Structure 1
Amino acid sequence: MLALLIRDLRLATRAGGGFGLGLAFFLIVCTLVPFGVGPEGGTLALIAPGILWVGALLACLLSLDRIFALDWEDGSLDLLATAPLPMEGAVLVKAAAHWITTGLPLVVAAPVFGILLHLPSGAQGWLVAALLLGTPALSILGAFGAALTVGLRRGGLLMSLLVLPLYVPTLIFGAEAVRRGAAGGDGTTPLVLLAGITLATLAAIPFAAAGALRVNLR
């Protein structure tokens, strides 16, 4: 599993591998929003929790098609199917690699982008905690969508249509936790629900994604 994780991380950090793409997109979203809605700090602070979470969600979505596409093209996916490592384990490793190269940079950079949107300082900790708990679910659900559409021409659009509805609960509770923190309230309840969603996806989605990959490999 460690060798597969290192391999995927190396592929992601190569030129054209997608590393940094999500972070750049996140920065562009947070930079353009003030131009669209105006520079007034009160307005930006009000919409900042939702904008930050939508930006993070779309940034994760950008590189989902790369999770299995390269392995499908070079035949590595067939080797993984016959390897001693269960396919469910391979799905988890690939989702972890996607999170490390896409989700984790978003978590680290989010406080800086929050400043661009005038997010109150009291909400910065809630933002980091919400993204830290929620972005793994985005990567795992994305791996499921990528498994369903691997090998399909123009599968990226279909994958987006399949995955986006699954992202909605994570988006709702993640943004709510930050919104409560910005208002000076307690965001613990949304965070607990967010953690429950992530744990549920960790428990169930790898089996569904592995089943989809086996069907596509037949």
Structure 2
Amino acid sequence: MSALLRLLRRDLAAFMPGGRRGGTLLPILFFLAVAMLYPFAVGPDAPVLARTGGGVAWIGALLAAILPLDRLVAPDLEQGFFDHWALRGISEEVVIAVRVLAHWLSFGPPLMLAALPASALLGIDGKTLYTVELGLLAGTPGLAAIGVTIAALTAGLRAGAALSGLLLIPLAVPLLIFGAGALSTGGESGIALTAAISLVLLAIAPFAGGAAVRAAREG
């Protein structure tokens, strides 16, 4: 347990602003940039912004999730950290599971906080903001799981960074459909489906990502 806690602290220190990978700051700034630019694109019509702002917040979250993919797994694989952990008896599946948790802690809660100023920019009312926040709470763990899994699958590939983004978008579409769809269906059913998809992705990610890392190490 102490080894897992040390691994989690290491990952969090790397992902937080000022860390070696700085995974938090850039996605949040990108998310806020989308919220700032969208009103300029559609005009200052308040009803239009209020009707579409929640969906834009979800699209911004999805696009922001793409940015740190090339830094989630590839650097540790290149520097031999996975070999070191394997020698210490820590399997690739455990490392990937901890990496998903660290990635979500550095990405999900800050994104939910960033949704507060973004709601003012997008003209989102309090009720819609509540649904958006619940949807992000249910959906961002799934985005983190997809992101780490794809990062493991593309680690070591020459065009891994570009390929990661292309793979993440179609895989994240169910989360986007049900998460953003909750805004028009009253919330509960869409959020429940979003949470269910996230749980399935969280269950799959350690095994899929661990197998990909093991194949890359042995290849």
Same fold (TM over 0.5): yes
Give the structure 2 partner of residue 192 of structure 1: 192
- Residues 73-99 of structure 1 show CA distances to partners (whole Å, capped at 9, x for unaligned) of 321122233332222121111111111
Length-normalised TM-score, structure 1 = 0.93
Give the structure 2 partner of residue 142 of structure 1: 147
Length-normalised TM-score, structure 2 = 0.92
How big is the shift at 1:15?
5.2
**2:72 alignment partner, SS class:** helix
Q: Which moved more, 1:123-132 or 1:7-16?
A: 7-16
Give the structure 2 partner of residue 88 of structure 1: 93
2: CA distance, partners of 1:130 / 1:109: 14
> In the alignment, which of 115, 122, 126 is matched to residue 110 of structure 1?
115
Give the structure 2 partner of residue 67 of structure 1: 72
Please list every run of 5 or more consecutive structure 2 residues that lacks an aligned counterpart in the other structure: none
Give the structure 2 partner of residue 10 of structure 1: 13
How big is the shift at 1:4?
0.8
> In the alignment, which of 165, 188, 195 is matched to residue 170 of structure 2?
165
How big is the shift at 1:16?
5.7
Q: 1:60–1:138: 8 Å Cα contact kept in structure 2?
A: yes
Runs of 4+ in 1 over 3 A off after TM superposition: none
- Residues 108-136 of structure 1 show CA distances to partners (whole Å, capped at 9, x for unaligned) of 22122112101122111111111011001
2: CA distance, partners of 1:90 / 1:16: 18
Give the structure 2 partner of residue 175 of structure 1: 180
Aligned length: 213
Matched residue type, 1:17: R
2: CA distance, partners of 1:83 / 1:178: 47
Q: 2:104–2:144: 8 Å Cα contact kept in structure 1?
A: yes
1: CA distance, partners of 2:14 / 2:127: 38
2: CA distance, partners of 1:179 / 1:100: 28
Q: 1:141–1:163: 8 Å Cα contact kept in structure 2?
A: yes
Q: Percent of counterpart pairs with the same letter?
A: 42
2: CA distance, partners of 1:26 / 1:78: 35
Matched residue type, 2:173: V
Give the structure 2 partner of residue 29 of structure 1: 34
Q: 2:179–2:191: 8 Å Cα contact kept in structure 1?
A: yes
Matched residue type, 2:65: C
- Residues 148-167 of structure 1 show CA distances to partners (whole Å, capped at 9, x for unaligned) of 11011221111111221110
> In the alignment, which of 32, 48, 72 is matched to residue 53 of structure 2?
48
Please list every run of 5 or more consecutive structure 1 residues that lacks an aligned counterpart in the other structure: 181-185
